[in-house]
Chains A and B, each alone.
Chain A
Amino acid sequence: MSGFRFPVGRLPDEALLSGLATGDPELAEIFVRRFQHRVFGVAMAVTGDQQLAEDVAQQTFERAWRHAQIYDSRRGSVGTWLTTIAHNLAVDAVRARRTEPMAPEDLAPLLGAVTETPERWALADEASTQLRAALARLPREQARALLMAGVYGMTAQQIADVEGIPLGTAKTRIRAAMAKLRTALASPKGGGHVR
């Protein structure tokens, strides 16, 4: 066919997802390439295991392909949808294989990773920047509880056991952290002090 060459990078995420749903092999590869770093990043963060993360990432794309028709953009971007699938699969995989959902030494680096705001995030969307800033302002114990629950899928009881605190305290920390993030993201400038 004559004509110009069209860079796949210009295809919107939703267009690629539509193509994925049709079973188009070329678009499937383009789709996977576009999102594989994000999906694999989530899987590695939760599992901490390269082989398990690879399995989870592959299952994520297979699930996205099978359920592309239920994707609803009103509930989030294609990327968010995929990372949510990856997260759920990763948490389930860890629960099925290990009694300990995380290695305690992993928590501090993870907290650093989700709160860093260097130049590399300068082009990130405003909401993500606000969320990072709000996370950075959380009291340390609340941020830890939030990551244990929100990233590693730990129940309040598991958090209480790891932190050596009463169950009620663990629940309060999760609730307080989420309430502060909600307030910060709802305010016009994304927050101010959330303490």
Chain B
Amino acid sequence: MSGDAHCEKLREAGAELALGVLPGRERAEAVAHLDGCADCREYVRQLTMIGDRLIGLLPEREPPPGFGTRVARSLAEQAAGPQSARPARAARVRRGRVRRVRLRLAAAAATLAVAVGFAGWAVGSAVEGAVTASSSPAVESEPVLVGDMIPAGGGQSVGEVYAHPGSPAWIFVSVALGGSTSNGRVTCLLARADGTTTRLGDFPVRDGRGNWGVAVPVDLTKYSAARLTSADGTVLATAQFQKGKVEAPQA
């Protein structure tokens, strides 16, 4: 069968493939074709996105009372290590606290993979509103450092920084720089009050926008600001940290 014929066949089955309902043999043939056909991959990618968005139209529902608390507790217990349900990690459970701490740090480091490649984000304002509009009494929980990214020349904020100084510590940066740094990489530094800095790493921006979350192996409370610089060291923006606490609604 020629390539065009394979493509034609793929186009016939693409919708079912994208929706995950193509039977086994046909699915195997389609996937084999996709391995070598970028056009068809793009076609199926678009259809898959439509399928995902279709699921996103399903109406929200109120879960049973206490659901969120139960699930969060379950996650926390699993994260703590000993009760982890991950089969591959079962044998490691008895290696003690140090080992568990290392696992937690490894999980934190994995957030780098979450961060790199962020090409843009939109805060889910509707969902966020539902959270903030909750009438439940608020309780203080985690300490947090936040700051607005102010351009080197002053002016309106071009982004935000959220830093969690706990263990493990992590930081999340979101910027919309524009200008000369529309595409490329920027360097993120943590600055102390005495002017010394610690380099966190280089991060990508696309169309001036970038978002990164990264675990940081330092005591964040010793730092007063986060700074972004271009490849030549030019300061692009700085965020002065403000200390606060995350305020969470009670169950």
Contact = CB atoms under 8 A, between A and B. Distances in A.
Interface in A43-85: 44-45, 50, 53-54, 57-58, 61-62, 65-66, 68-74, 76-80, 83-84
Contacts of A124: 126
Given A24-B142, A24-B164, A181-B50, A18 B111 contact: yes
B50 A37 contact: no
Contacts of B63: 36-37, 40, 54, 57
A40 B68 CA distance: 11
Interface string B89-123: 00000000000000010011011011101111111
Nearest to B163: A15
A85 to B, nearest CB: 10
Given A29-B248, A41-B61, A57-B63, A23 B121 contact: no
Given A34-B128, A61-B71, A178-B18, A23 B242 contact: no
Nearest to A178: B15
B178 interface: no
B29 to A, nearest CB: 15
A114 to B, nearest CB: 4
B106 to A, nearest CB: 10
B15 A175 contact: yes
B21 A149 contact: yes
Contacts of B126: 123-124
B37 interface: no
A102 B200 CA distance: 51
Contacts of B127: 34-35, 37-38, 79
Nearest to B213: A18
Interface string B11-23: 0101110111111
A125 B59 CA distance: 15
A20 B71 CA distance: 12
A2 B143 CA distance: 10
Contacts, number: 293
B114 A69 contact: yes
B109 to A, nearest CB: 9
B114 A23 contact: no
B58 A41 contact: yes
A114 B57 contact: yes
A182 interface: yes
Interface residues of B, number: 93
Contact of A68 (B58, B110, B244): B110
A107 interface: no
B79 A65 contact: yes
Interface in A24-40: 24-38, 40
A14 B15 contact: no
B219 interface: no
B21 to A, nearest CB: 5
Contact of A128 (B56, B104, B211): B56
Nearest to B143: A1
B64 A23 contact: no
Given A153-B20, A155-B22, 8 more contacts: A4-B244, A5-B244, A6-B245, A24-B164, A68-B110, A69-B111, A131-B54, A131-B57
Interface of B: 12, 14-16, 18-23, 46-47, 49-64, 67-76, 78-80, 85-86, 104, 107-108, 110-111, 113-115, 117-132, 138, 140-144, 146, 162, 164, 166, 168, 170, 172, 174, 211, 213-215, 242-249
5 contacts: A18-B213, A40-B62, A73-B119, A77-B124, A135-B54
Interface of A: 1-15, 17-38, 40-42, 44-45, 50, 53-54, 57-58, 61-62, 65-66, 68-74, 76-80, 83-84, 87-88, 91, 110, 113-114, 123-125, 127-128, 131-132, 135, 146, 149-151, 153-157, 171, 174-175, 177-179, 181-182, 185-186
